Amino acid sequence: MSATLPDFELIRPATLAAAIAALQEAEAPRLCAGGTDLIVNMRHGLSPAATLIDITAIDELAGIVRQGEGLHIGAATRLCELEEDDTLARAYPAVAEAVRTIAGPAHRQAATLGGNLCLDTRCLYYNQSDWWRRANDFCLKYGGDVCRVAPSGKRCRAAFSGDLAPALMVHGGEIVIAGGEGLRRLPVQDFYREDGADHLALEKGEIVTGVYLPPPAGLSAYRKLRLRGAIDFPLAGVAISCARREDGWHFAIALTGTNSCPVMVEMPPLAPDEDAAAYFRTLGRQVQKKASPQRTTAIAPHYRRLGVAAMAVRLARDLWQAA
């Protein structure tokens, strides 16, 4: 029942190439950025690693730079730097708002963009000490055979609870990944899969190097439901962007905290001559359909489903009025 860290070797490469080589060669390696998620899990006897590769000394992974009309954010950029960036606040407001809701100010001094995107999924039966989980006979995600939330199912339903992914998704963000085969890019939503035990499309030996945000196309915002307003993971979160085009207002909607991965909700544009009240009622229903909260948190799934739909309708209506 120890809450101390297990033994591991710590290495701190100075280049991306050295980090990729270490990932391929070191014994049971795991990347560590700010450590605000990883170290807590390791203390709980989760996320085992014989070698931790600290990526915070790699210049290629740091900072926010203009790329054409868009923006590239390095994976090791700390959340406090994102919080202070004027371009982000002005051009990608949902991203800036989401950053400010992540953990507390002290966490954001260490926590990084890449760590937030690669955050482990969360569940009442998983984020517990080793002795707690042992006493409850471990579960499917780690060490056991049966899911406590959906015992007849074969997949883990733990929730993805990162705040940044949905905000990047509604701005058309792309994740840049480096590995032995070179670089590849994926739309943020394609980086995730609906499996709480294996939710990242990251191959062995790969590192997220950053995120590319295309030129901003409209207004955006982010809201989340949480138990404690000052510091808490989203029980449900929603990011929305709204852009005016010739055929009407286009909404991009993305949810977090309700499924094992962040998900997008499809909506046709709101045409200029359409009944807006009816459109927003449909939007709320579509969000309710897409959200799939399970008994993985302290709050009833139904409340989270209704809460995320209500937040989405309010946000969409406010953005539409402002646009």
Ligand X SMILES: Cc1cc2nc3c(=O)[nH]c(=O)nc-3n(C[C@H](O)[C@H](O)[C@H](O)COP(=O)(O)OP(=O)(O)OC[C@H]3O[C@@H](n4cnc5c(N)ncnc54)[C@H](O)[C@@H]3O)c2cc1C
Residues that bind ligand SF4 (CB under 6 A): 123, 125-126, 139-141, 147-149, 156-158, 196, 296
DSSP-assigned letter for residue 151: T
- Sequence-separated (6 or more) residues with CB below 8 Å from residue 207: 16, 19, 20, 23, 31, 55, 61, 75, 114, 177, 178, 179
Residue-by-residue DSSP string for 86-101: HHHHHH-HHHHHHHHT
Binding track, positions 62-101, relative to ligand X; x by CB under 6 A? -------------x---x----------------------
Whether the CB-CB separation of 183 and 177 falls below 8 Å is answered with yes
Closer residue to ligand X, CB minimum distance, 211 or 242: 211
Closer residue to ligand X, CB minimum distance, 51 or 292: 51
Closer residue to ligand SF4, CB minimum distance, 241 or 297: 297
Whether the CB-CB separation of 56 and 33 falls below 8 Å is answered with yes
| 102, 147, 309, 311: which one binds ligand X (CB under 6 A) | 102
How far apart are alpha carbons 286 and 252 in whole angstroms? 12
| Closest distance of CB 74 from ligand X, Å | 9
Q: Which residues of 45-54 are buried (b: 16+ CB within 10 A; e: fewer)?
A: bbbebebbbb
Angle at which helix 276-290 crosses helix 301-322, to 10 degrees, equals 140
| Closest distance of CB 149 from ligand X, Å | 21
| 163, 166, 225, 319: which one binds ligand X (CB under 6 A) | 163
User: Which residues 166-225 are close enough to bind ligand X by CB under 6 A?
Assistant: 207-208
- 176 DSSP β-pair partners: 185, 210
Closer residue to ligand X, CB minimum distance, 22 or 208: 208
Q: Comparing C-alpha atoms, which of 264, 251, 260 is closest to residue 313?
A: 251
DSSP-assigned letter for residue 189: G
CB-closest chain residue to ligand X: 115
| 160, 233, 249, 280: which one binds ligand X (CB under 6 A) | 233
The binder of 35, among ligand X, ligand SF4, none, by C-beta within 5 to 8 A per type, is: ligand X
Binding track, positions 114-143, relative to ligand X; x by CB under 6 A? xxx-xxx-----------------------
Is 36 a residue that touches ligand X (CB under 6 A)?
Answer: yes
How far apart are alpha carbons 7 and 28 in whole angstroms? 12
CA dihedral sign, ordered 228, 232, 238, 241: positive
Contact residues toward ligand X (CB under 6 A) are 30-38, 40, 55, 75, 79, 102-103, 107, 110-112, 114-116, 118-120, 161-163, 207-208, 231-233
